[in-house]
Structure 1
Amino acid sequence: MKRGDNITELGAVLNERTKKLIDVQTHWCNVKSVDWDKKTMVATGLVDDLDFFDVNLGIGSIYKKPKVKTKCLIGIINNNIADAFLIECDEIEILEIIDETGFKIVLKDGLLTFNGDQFGGLVNAKELKLQVDKNTLIIQKMQEVFTTWTPVPQDGGSALKSLVSLFTNLQRADLSNIENEKIKHG
């Protein structure tokens, strides 16, 4: 063992024991104000009415914008009120999740977006299938009509005209309702 190793080892043991003595600090508060651009808020303690400034709305990749005047729980790192962060709250206005690649999910005003909203809503797959099946049936009937049609001399197309009703009376696809407006992607 080298000189000074005992002191380093003693320091590490004391540091670990001290960490065990420090209680986890949490406080129930009301949200006083929110600065969404800076991802911070001011919260007022329910017990002591003291303000906690610059409380982080997230740590890293998940951020919540709490509603002003809502109840929340904040955490304090190493008993340092300058290192406060939002743990949970009763109501949120925005939830934002960003991964290391920059992929971003935002829930705001009842709208869920994935990487923005420039591509519109997600397709309602059941509705799309129902509507595409209608068009498929029309095409199938057209193929059958033209496959079975036999030209008749001197009829001027009346034989074909009588067969056209087999597919012209079918309901065509209505693709106007296949978009889910509540979820957008980009």
Structure 2
Amino acid sequence: MPAQQLLLLAGDYVEDYEVMVPYQALEMVGHDVHAVCPEKEAGETCPTAIHDFEGDQTYTEKPGHQFELTHDFDAVDPAEYDALVVPGGRAPEYLRTYDAVLEHVRHFFAEDKPVACLCHGVQLLAAADVLDGRTCTGYPALETDVRTAGGDWAEGVTRDGNLVTGQAWPDHPEWLATFLECLGTDIDHAEPVAADD
């Protein structure tokens, strides 16, 4: 299948692994990923947060990196994109207050385009009112949000039609593989070439 154009919704304090790993992995297999954030343009950055699971009742948070945006948010026309990627972190909490963000999310569901959502990203889906009757997952503390929005909660990586969800960055391998399958992306697993002695 030819390369597809994907929209990635970032924001300040997006989770570091959850924005960088999918961005790099999807670009690596040939897709064109447009990373955007409301009120920001290409070349500007979003600070990231590193969430870890260290035995406390909730995750810990540490400063991450500066994630560089590749496109202007104001220039986004969701009709030009084949799929949507919604990472987690603290960003979804405030991104859901932007009407344009919610309208973009609704477009992908209305057109039955693939959507990959991880961790706290499910807050955006709940706010966009697109979870009714859908089975999904997210960060475990958001089960109530999903159920209140009419969704059915599941554990672990979940695919419901064109919606692929995971609970947090430890789900990356299965979550990304399931999303690539949803996109119809074929990956040639060629044998590595041995170096001459």
Q: One fold, TM greater than 0.5? A: no
Which of the pair is proportionally richer in strand? Answer: 1
Based on CA coordinates, which of the two structures has the bigger radius of gyration? Answer: 1
Normalising by the smaller structure, the TM-score range is under 0.3
